[in-house]
A and B are shown apart, each in its own frame.
Chain A
Amino acid sequence: MDNVLLLFLIVPLAAGILALLVPGKARGPKELIILAATFLNLLIAAVFFKTGLTYSFPWVPGIGLEFSLRLYHFSAFIILAAAAFAFLIALYSIVSLAEKPYAKQFFAYFLITLGFVNGAVLADNLLLLLFFWEGQLITLFLMISVGNKAAFKTATKALIIVGITDLCLMVGIALTGHLAGTLTISKINLPLDALGGMAFVFLMIGAISKAGSMPFHSWIPDAAVDAPLPFMAFLPASLEKLIGIYLLARISLDMFQLHPASWISTMMMIIGAVTILLAVMMALVQTDYKRLLSYHAISQVGYMVLGIGTAVPIGIVGGLFHMINHAMYKSCLFLTGGAVEKQAGTTSLDKLGGLARKMPITFACFIVAAAAISGAPPFNGFFSKELVYDGALERGFIFYLAAVAGSFLTAASFLKLGHAAYLGKIREENRNVKEAPLLMLIPMVVIALGCIVFGVYNKLPLQALIQPILGPERLAGHSFAGWPAKAALVIATFVVLAAAFLNHRFGVRKNGSGLKASDHIHYAPILRGIYDRAEKRFFDPYDIGLKAVNMLSEIAWQCDRAVDWIYDTLVVRVTYACTHQIKKAHNGNYATYLVWSLVGFLLVVVFLLQSVKM
């Protein structure tokens, strides 16, 4: 019975390999495979949702690698969510990628990724987790690189960033295994001392890098432009957030004893706050639909990291709730972006406008999702954010301030996006744009409805899904469902949202169009210079890292050349100098040679004679 868990792996992986094998040109087989596989996956996830299953067999006993899978409430939740997103996005991508030559490959990689994600979530052995975790690297690379011509550069960037952080994860796992003496996740419970803290940091790097937090974020905006759109909705928007935060939650909650007092908690909050602010600042000034969304995908991770980093129950619940909410509204947003791209042929905001009338359902979905991400009630984002605010305020006013500021900017940027893309005058070339096809609309609408349900009826996700993760001890009887407890915070949120709206009006009036609604911030005295540099990737940690590596390489190269010089030049020269001297001594005159012999003879005799006298 327990080995049904293997189905979570076998179904997507087998389907993925099958998809690679079927002929790609024909319409039908590959679509059928992906739909069937994702649906089956969803089905299994739903069927076994409430069951706690474990499955285990020793894989490589010598190195502590056990093939142990564990399905319990948390992992079942993530698995179900992932399965749902996968199914919806698969549905969507059948249409959106219909004419693309790479559809078959994309589907195959999609399914393999899903399999690996399932594996990573289910794994109860750190090494097994790492195996599946890092395995996604390859499909990540491949999925991005099938995009446009320059996509391979982004793909490489993604692979290098994620690969490096995954290596950190590996070291973290090695360290954890060493400290705990076991690699079974459910048996690990470590204090955060010096080495433990080190292990935690390494694991955290792996987790937040997957989730796309700063400073490991910079491939996401690039991928938004280069990669196929369903990819964005699938990985950076939903699945990667899910498993990244899942891992973060597991290490923070289960594997390590994270206390509010520890420096790690503070560090995580700083990372969260910085991610929120910086990413949203960047999002504000973007002029590309997908790119703008991708910066938000980064920014929102900040809330989750911040929430979990608070290490107080309300914050953690908020962070986790935000995780699932974000996956919903962000994938919905990306899907609307994809619909716009498919119908209008571009995602560049200066070429869009007035689409609301042409694509009303898409617009409606956008409105819901945008309101959710901005934290407007009664959508799900509002409730999770309130929880995070509460947690952050408990730890320090500054964090709260950052979170709220992030909210303000988020709202501002979505006002700008909605204004620029859907309102205003429709452009000439978009006259003939039609509503997206049904198969693309279904996922959007379903997810948008989900946003509303999770907001209005937030008891369902919170009590059924999220609060059990913390366990009764941590919760101590509290429940965070329902309307936010602190009215002051709610009022503050309203104020912020109103301010964002006013700011938008001001910007539109000042700069003349929805697209330029944020220009007064963009070109503000100090910010302007910073933005300019940021656009030139001055602050891209990846580029900085590469520069550092290149510098290191240059030094190493010089060392290498120096060593080579020793062999190629120094040794040769010294030897030939000796040779030259010896050759010069052989001047051809036999008297010279005779003198050598005689001197040698005299020395020999003297030596022999003195040896006796000694």
Chain B
Amino acid sequence: MDNAFILLEIVFIPIVGSLLLPLFGLISSRLRNFLALLFVLCSFALSLALIPPVLSGETLTFSKQLALGFNFVLVADGLAVFMACVSSFISAIIVLYSFDYISHYENRNEYYFMMVLFLGSMMGLVLSGNLIFLYFFWEMTALTSWRLIGFFREKTHVLKANKAFLVTIFGALAMLVGFIIIYNQTGSFDLAVIKESFKTIPVANLAVLLILAGIFSKSATLPFHTWLPDAGVAPSPVTAMLHAAILVKIGTYVFARLFLATFALVTDWHTIILVITAASALIAAGAAMIEKDIKRIVAYSTISQIGFIFFGLAVGNQTAVAGGLLYIMMHGLAKAGLFLGAGVIEQNTGIRDITKLGGLIRTMPVTAAAFLGCSLSVMGIPPFGGFFSKYLLFSGAISSGRIAIALVFLVGAFMTIIYLFRLFNMVFMGEPQTSRAKEKSPMMVACVMLLAVLSLAGGIFINYPSHFVQVAVQGMVGLIN
């Protein structure tokens, strides 16, 4: 099969498929569920198919010239395929988890529609080689996440969803202006052209600032982060998908795509970004220590960990960027596991306040084990995958001479350990405070366990993702040596 055609399929199978899902939902909900999974798996499988050519250094491109410079360009390089694989894979697990989780709520058609559409948009985003289409898919992810966050349609839920939508859109609009500035500088929205153009001229600072606003709002970084904990009202698979595994990674991806793979920033920008993200990591970690709602804690943890990813990307040398990308993957797996685990707890006990939980390890041992595994991965403890990514970050930062900022992040890492253990202890240890809550759905628990096992496997078989990431990093122009 023509490789460029695969690119189209990766994006459009889920998008077109999602449109059909409500129709299938009218026929049979099982069929719809199955198809939803199938579409996502299709994307995943096709993304996997791209790995061999990408590893051999090839860059696949699909390009269609359209009017006004809005060319539809899909580019599959290492970075894009890496993100595509990670996000589609996690999505598949989450969709699988949703089968049971969502089965007793209304609007399931809309749910699957939005889920799969989200994945399709995500694929479009990562593969897009044109700023306008990048923005296009970016907003589509915002749109779908808005509906997914407000899935329960209660007033408060919808208000939170609106907040998330507004904040991210505000950032996205700022970013759009940034894109337009770049367009004005280079005369094109095409990333390849932009890359060439910026070899000779520096990129406008205003554009960088505006794009950063977009990135930070999407990736929930200070000062645009508060929508993320609030969005915890969503169903757990949604929070896992959007806020842990995929949506918030969009910002980091675009950061890497633009600021590293397309053009270079001046060092001052790196310093500024590092300071912001360090503050973000610390403040979110502190908030996670104080919060009592299980999902909010995990959400704050996400904010904090996103700070780490930016830390790697902004340090900007090869090691650190590789670490940042690995972090995206490892954190995605582990944090999805945490959110899904929180979902199991929430669904089986009906409680989200950790002060009212306790002793669940006795009734929900598998969940507890998986939750612990995922926590350990997030903390960065070997043999879990999170260890390597964290090490690479620090190693990269130190070899760039950013020791002070590394120490700040070290404090953040300390706090990660503390708040995650606080969470684990309060939920699973101690005296049981609730009636005996069992793990009702084997499928859901299996999904959580699978993520934990994958986090472990990600550590033990680290060389595969690591190699992939190295390849992805090699093509970047914005690296600091």
A binding-site residues for B, Cβ under 8 Å: 59-63, 65, 127, 130-132, 134-135, 137-138, 145, 152-153, 156, 159-160, 163-164, 166-168, 170-171, 173-175, 177-178, 195, 198, 546, 549-550, 552-557, 559-560, 563-564, 566-568
Contacts and interface: CB of A to CB of B under 8 A. Distances in A.
Nearest to B417: A163
A551 B394 CA distance: 26
5 contacts: A174-B399, A177-B399, A549-B418, A556-B285, A567-B163
A567 B467 contact: no
Nearest to A168: B410
B394 A174 contact: yes
Nearest to B289: A553
A316 B383 CA distance: 33
Contact of B425 (A131, A153, A167): A153
Interface stretch (B16-24, B172-180, B218-226, B265-273): B218-226
Given A163-B381, A567-B163, A60 B286 contact: no
B425 A156 contact: yes
Which 6 A-B residue pairings sit nearest by Cβ, starting from the closest? A556-B286, A553-B286, A553-B289, A174-B395, A564-B226, A62-B470
Contacts of B286: 552-557, 559-560
B392 interface: yes
The residue in A130, A164, A555 that gathers the most chain B C-beta atoms within 10 A of its C-beta is A164
Contact of A152 (B223, B406, B429, B466): B429
Interface residues of B, number: 54
A156 B421 contact: yes
A131 B398 contact: no
Given A156-B421, A556-B282, A556-B287, A549 B415 contact: yes
B39 interface: no
A224 B463 CA distance: 40
Interface of B: 163, 167, 222-223, 225-227, 282-287, 289-290, 300, 319, 322, 376, 379-383, 387-388, 390-392, 394-395, 397-399, 403, 406-407, 410, 413-415, 417-418, 421, 424-425, 429-430, 462-463, 466-467, 469-470
B399 A178 contact: yes
B417 A63 contact: no
A59 B464 CA distance: 10
A159 B417 contact: yes
A555 B417 CA distance: 19
A469 to B, nearest CB: 27
B338 to A, nearest CB: 17
A161 to B, nearest CB: 10
Nearest to A127: B391
A60 B463 contact: yes
Given A131-B387, A170-B391, A556-B285, A152 B425 contact: yes
A555 B289 CA distance: 11
Contact of A175 (B283, B398, B424): B398
Contacts of B380: 167, 170
A343 B469 CA distance: 58
Given A554-B290, A557-B290, A130 B391 contact: yes
B275 to A, nearest CB: 14
Contacts of A566: 223
Nearest to A151: B429
Contact of A177 (B282, B395, B425): B395
A62 B325 CA distance: 14
B421 A556 contact: no
A571 to B, nearest CB: 9
Nearest to A552: B286
A174 B222 CA distance: 28
